[in-house]
Amino acid sequence: MNNGNFIKIYDTTLRDGSQAAGVNFSKIDKVRIADILDDFGVSYIEGGWPGSNPKDISFFEAVKRKKFKHAKIAAFGSTRRHSNRVENDDNIVKLLESEAPVITIFGKSWELHSREVLKITPDQNLEIIADSCRYLADKKREVIFDAEHFFDGYKDNPEYALQVLKTAAANGASSIVLCDTNGGIITSEITAICKKVVAMLPQDICVGIHCHNDSGLAVANSLAAVETGITHIQGTVNGFGERCGNADLCSIIPTLELKMGKKCLLEDNLKKLKSLNLAINETANINANPNLPFVGSSAFAHKGGMHVNAVNKNPATFEHIPPETVGNKRRILVSDLSGKTNILMKAAEHNIENLTDSDIKEILSELKKVEDSGYEFESANASFTLFVKKVMKTYEPFFQLEGYRVIVEKRGHNEPPLSEATVKVSVGGKQELTAAEGDGPVNALDKAFRKSLSKFYPQINDFYLIDYKVRIFQGAEGTAAKTRVLIESGNTKESWVTVGVSENIIEASWEALVDSVEYALLLKNSKNNQAK
């Protein structure tokens, strides 16, 4: 009998998640992600379809030699072809050769699919489901049966859809997963149908849910299914998946643990959720979605002055959970909507203390002026720190810019353009003039700038440019429009963002580059002083 208070999390990021547009995991990526998921504490990790491509076959070869602390590795595949004997079916053979302890097979539960896709009768479809589940169970594998298109099939012919589930359960499947493959079922339908399935199947059968997000309901539908007695949820980290994605485990897991009184992870592992979100994004080379619940950088961000004031007094006023519970943190944004508390809290984040009411009024006044001209500090945390120090006249510059020049030259129709920059700076009365070539004008400028300062501040070689974003606003001005540049820089331990604005994209980039270097030197100097 299943323990209804423990929900088994079945992660399919490596298989279903990799079907998302722009996501492509190498074998090494997949092994690394499997280690991260195991450490996080999911119950199952679906590694891929060993019968579909060499990469997935090599993944299962690699994990044969690994011992996982918590998770079971699952291989995914389909029921046998109707024209094949089960023991000779190539897909079934490959599933067994993977040596995965868990095998998940999908079968058609919508009569429409058996007739029009497989071109077999509904009874023949039941036959291949029974053969496949029984054969794999006889080989001592844990068999999970994914009832593909189950909810659509149930709405079309409930008797047949339920017969598919009964057939799989009677022939060795220990878990039956109800799939909203098209992602079009609404929550009330999920609840009503899941109740009937849970009541119908034997209590020793684990019933699961697998939702796609085509109606934006994948998380809600998965959680609603739990309320009916389902104890197995399939999903992906960050909701990666085909079309509109799969149910997002980064929303499902904390909701289960913090709001529904269910357990699904090892003790205290929920604090690793934000790190999991970032690790999967980084491996997939996907920019993090700031608006994701629980793990997004904006999930606990506060901008309106009244909100910030209330949060400062009691975070529960505008936060449904403490951000640290899921490994996230609170962010106070500053803009022309900011109030006194925004400035105080944001300044405290950057160790700027003892601001008077007069200081805050002056900062707010200057902030409104610069934001009106195109600057924004919501994302540019480092530039805001420098901005406050400069308004308060407490900033001591590390260098003076004497000038720069950037040349872009194209020498032939089929030749790539060449970019060269020259930068002159002075430090303590000593001048340094350097030049550098780059892949583009900004890259050349960055190289020349760093080269000119490295003689005086060798520590600038310890950080690097992570990201570069350009946004054109006041678009009606065409190519003369103002440009906002955001540059993210960092080292192995931390990162910071700076902003520059100008009608000239090179000048905007230069402003952001200068702020980036100034902040890095300020950070280093501050840490050195603390160490003393």
Segment 406-411 long-range contacts (CB within 8 Å, at least 24 positions apart)? 406/441, 406/444, 406/445, 406/506, 408/441
| Cα separation, 165 vs 161, whole angstroms | 7
Segment 161-165 long-range contacts (CB within 8 Å, at least 24 positions apart)? 161/109, 161/110, 161/111, 162/196, 162/197, 162/200, 163/126, 164/107, 164/108, 164/109, 164/125, 164/126, 164/129, 165/109, 165/197, 165/200, 165/201
Torsion of CA 176, 11, 181, 23, to 10 degrees: -160
| Cα separation, 386 vs 372, whole angstroms | 18
For the chain, count helices (H), then strands (E).
Answer: 17, 16
Domain identity same for 414 and 387: no
Q: For 70, which DSSP code?
A: S
Q: Is residue 452 part of a domain?
A: no
- The residues, ordered by sequence, that sit 6+ positions from 278 with a Cβ below 8 Å of its Cβ are 288
Q: Is residue 463 part of a domain?
A: no
| 431 DSSP β-pair partners | 426
Q: Are 108 and 125 in contact (CB under 8 A)?
A: yes
What is the pLDDT tens value at each position of the chain, 532 positions in all? 456 789 999 999 999 999 998 898 989 999 999 999 999 999 999 999 997 788 899 999 999 989 999 999 999 999 999 999 999 999 999 999 999 999 999 999 999 888 898 899 999 999 999 999 999 999 999 999 999 999 999 999 999 999 999 999 999 999 999 999 999 999 999 999 999 999 999 999 999 999 999 999 999 999 999 999 999 999 999 999 999 999 999 999 999 999 999 999 988 899 999 999 988 988 887 878 889 999 998 898 877 767 777 887 888 999 899 999 999 988 776 665 556 666 777 677 666 777 777 877 787 778 777 877 777 776 777 888 888 888 888 888 899 989 999 999 887 778 888 899 999 999 988 999 999 998 889 989 999 999 999 889 988 888 888 888 887 765 455 555 688 898 888 887 788 889 999 988 899 999 999 999 999 888 777 655 544 4
Q: Is residue 498 part of a domain?
A: no
pLDDT at 515: 92
Domain identity same for 85 and 150: yes
Domain identity same for 377 and 432: no
| Cα separation, 256 vs 447, whole angstroms | 49
Enter the tokens of residue 302.
């506060």
Enter the tokens of residue 191.
């609840």
Domain identity same for 64 and 194: yes
H/E segment holding residue 178: strand 173-180
Domain identity same for 150 and 188: yes
Three-state SS letters, 426-495: EECCEEEEEEEEECCHHHHHHHHHHHHHHCCCHHHHHCEEEEEEEEECCHHHHHHCCEEEEEEEECCCCE
Q: Is residue 282 part of a domain?
A: no
Q: Are 54 and 27 in contact (CB under 8 A)?
A: no
Q: Which domain holds residue 245?
A: 8-266
| Cα separation, 494 vs 140, whole angstroms | 48
Last residue of one domain, picked from the residues 410, 426, 443 = 443
Q: Are 344 and 360 in contact (CB under 8 A)?
A: yes
Domain identity same for 110 and 256: yes
Last residue of one domain, picked from the residues 443, 478, 503 = 443
Nearest to 141 by CA among 85, 223, 74: 74
| Cα separation, 332 vs 311, whole angstroms | 10
pLDDT at 1: 40
Enter the tokens of residue 172.
């060795």
Q: Is residue 179 part of a domain?
A: yes
| Cα separation, 476 vs 159, whole angstroms | 61
Domain at 156, CATH number: 3.20.20.70
- One-letter amino acid of 288: A
Nearest to 73 by CA among 161, 125, 10: 10
Domain identity same for 117 and 19: yes
Domain identity same for 195 and 317: no
- Burial code of 68-99, b = ≥16 C-beta within 10 A, e = fewer? eeebbbbbbbbbbbbeeebeebebbbbbbebe
Q: Is residue 466 part of a domain?
A: no
Last residue of one domain, picked from the residues 247, 266, 285 = 266
**In the block, which residue shows the tokens 């606990």?**
300
For 469, list phi and psi in degrees, rounded to 5. Answer: -125, 140
Q: What angle do CA 11, 12, 17 make, to 5 degrees?
A: 130
Q: Is residue 152 part of a domain?
A: yes
Domain identity same for 221 and 76: yes
| Cα separation, 393 vs 390, whole angstroms | 5
> Longest C-alpha distance within the chain, in Å?
89
Domain identity same for 70 and 137: yes
User: What is the pTM (predicted TM-score) of this model?
Assistant: 0.73
Q: Are 88 and 58 in contact (CB under 8 A)?
A: no
Q: Are 481 and 475 in contact (CB under 8 A)?
A: yes
Q: How many domains does the chain have?
A: 3
- One-letter amino acid of 446: D
Domain identity same for 245 and 341: no
Q: Is residue 494 part of a domain?
A: no
Torsion of CA 398, 402, 408, 411, to 10 degrees: -120
pLDDT at 257: 96
- Burial code of 101-111, b = ≥16 C-beta within 10 A, e = fewer? ebbbbbbbbbb
Domain identity same for 246 and 307: no
